[in-house]
Amino acid sequence: MTDTQNVQGETPHIDVRVLSPVERHPRIFGTLHALAPGDSLLITSDHEPRPLHYQLETGFPGKFSWDYLEQGPDIWRVQITRQDAGCDCCCGSH
């Protein structure tokens, strides 16, 4: 499944390899902010998603967990889980 629609019981998945670079982060962040606490998003990429991880840690500290399911060299797969129901503002406050 490469789109972000969450079919009941399924974890949304975004394969950024099929998206243009300008679409990637807006799609990911839109999906993450729509998740309920405890729900996850799976991301598949052809490169290390370190900039995304950094954005989550600095912009939304404590709001999401980050787990590598596969770490290259050709494919990276990450599971990002929403941790709480705090605000979605850019300050990272709860």
CATH class given for the domain over 11-80: alpha beta
Domain boundaries, the chain: 11-80
- For residue 56, what pLDDT is reported? 94
Q: Which two tokens stand for residue 81?
A: 């889980």
The Cα–Cα gap between 18 and 63 comes to 27
pLDDT for 39-66, tens place per residue? 999 999 999 999 999 999 999 999 999 9
Please tell me the pTM assigned to this model: 0.80
Residue 1 has pLDDT above 60, yes or no: no
* DSSP state for residue 17 in the 8-state scheme: G
Place of tokens 């598949």: 44
Average pLDDT taken over every residue of the chain: 86
Mean pLDDT within 27-48? 96
